[in-house]
Structure 1
Amino acid sequence: MKIEKIHHVAYRCKDAKETVEWYGKMLNMDFILAIAEDRVPSTHEPDPYMHLFLDAGDGNVLAFFELPTKPEMGRDPNTPIWVQHIAFKVKDRDTLLKFKDHLEANGVNVLGVTDHSIFHSIYFFDPSGHRIELACPDPEEEALLKRMDAVKWDMLEEWSRTKRAPKHADWLHAKELGKAL
């Protein structure tokens, strides 16, 4: 048995129409499906909802639920805002920079470009407050991933024992940390 791929990933949104329009305009995602019912099919609970599906490229689907009868959505107060995010891959750095310019031209506050060595990223928020990351591969991605692959189990084991960041791959953000100092 083996999972084939992610069918879809679903999040809550504040406004279904605004979400479809924003992802279409800002990230060029096509609106591919909507499901709306008055009862939840899995639990049979009476609760009207709108379930949206967007094409995130290459067979990937991003979905949202608008739940008008539920309290306003919030975030887990014990989880930092940078932890929970949706990351999308773009072709290359040129594409990443074009998205950055497009987003900023449309009033979206963008953080980055952040150099993660293996890939480069920008970060921003959608209208519902979900943190979004766009990432492009580094030209040296293949060699860098091999280097990371060689230490992943040692890193996990050390973390499991100590709960402290192992230093096997501290070279990843050395350039970014140097900029900050």
Structure 2
Amino acid sequence: MKRPRGLNHVAYVTTDTAATKRFYTEILGMKLVGHAIDDSVGSTGEQTRFLHTFFEMGDGSCIAFFEIEGQLLDHHDSPLPRWAPHLALSVGSMDELNAAHQRLLGEGIKVRGVIDHEGTWKSIYFFDPNGVRLELTYQVRQLNDDDAAAATTAVAQWISEHTTSTS
């Protein structure tokens, strides 16, 4: 199988489509480009009414949300550490990252960063209204074969240290 050529969309849950639409269109500048509304879930056959919305980024890929009738929990309620699951979105320059940082602060959104990750990425972190942790990141340099080799070594070591005989 060939590797996928890119991201079409990633989907999250919302309990407030109005707040989600405002955040992604007015604050992050994305465009609402599509929706699906149905009384059953095509991929499972479950009888559940939902609205599925799609917000487009500059490269054509989307962040999507399901508002599911009767669903009262969102990503605020996850048992996972709040910092772990997140979506990193690219910006084209440090100027763009700094401008986004100021814009978010101006909207009253709590922002962490700018964080320097290994001299490769510079990032800011914040939450959307649904509790989805977002990262805006500027990639300072391209990853190369040395990075891939170091990652392969680190992953192999991690697996050897963290895998039990029953795994």
TM-score (norm 2): 0.88
- Number of residue equivalences: 159
**CA offsets, 1:111-159, max 9 Å, x none?**
0000011010000000011100000021xx13x6444223121111111
Q: Equivalent residue for 2:165?
A: none
Q: TM-score, normalised by structure 1?
A: 0.82
Q: Find the residue that maps to 2:104 and give its secondary structure.
A: helix
Q: What does residue 109 of structure 1 align with?
A: 110
**Percent identity between the aligned chains?**
34
Cα deviation, 1:30-77, whole Å, max 9, x if unaligned, reads: 000111112222233221101000102212111100012124235431
Partner of 1:148: 147
Task: Mark the runs of 5 or more structure 1 residues left unpaired by the alignment.
Answer: 164-181
* 1:55-74 mapped onto 2 (5 Å cutoff): 55-74=56-75
CA shift in 2, pair 1:145/1:109, >3 Å = farther
Give secondary structure in 1 for the equivalent of 2:39: strand
Contact 2:50–2:69, Cα closer than 8 Å, also in 1 = yes
The match for 2:24 is: 23
Q: Which residue of 1 aligns with 2:156?
A: 157
Q: What is the distance in 2 between the residues matched to 1:46 and 1:81?
A: 30
Question: 1:101/1:62 Cα in 2 relative to 1: closer, same or farther (>3 Å)?
Answer: same
Q: Quick one: distance in 1 between partners of 2:43 and 2:27?
A: 33
Paired residue type of 1:148: D
RMSD, matched Cα: 1.5
Aligned with residue 136 of structure 2, among 113, 134, 137: 134
Kindly indicate whether the alpha-carbon contact (under 8 Å) linking 2:15 and 2:72 is maintained by their aligned counterparts in 1.
Answer: no
SS of the aligned residue for 2:21 comes to helix
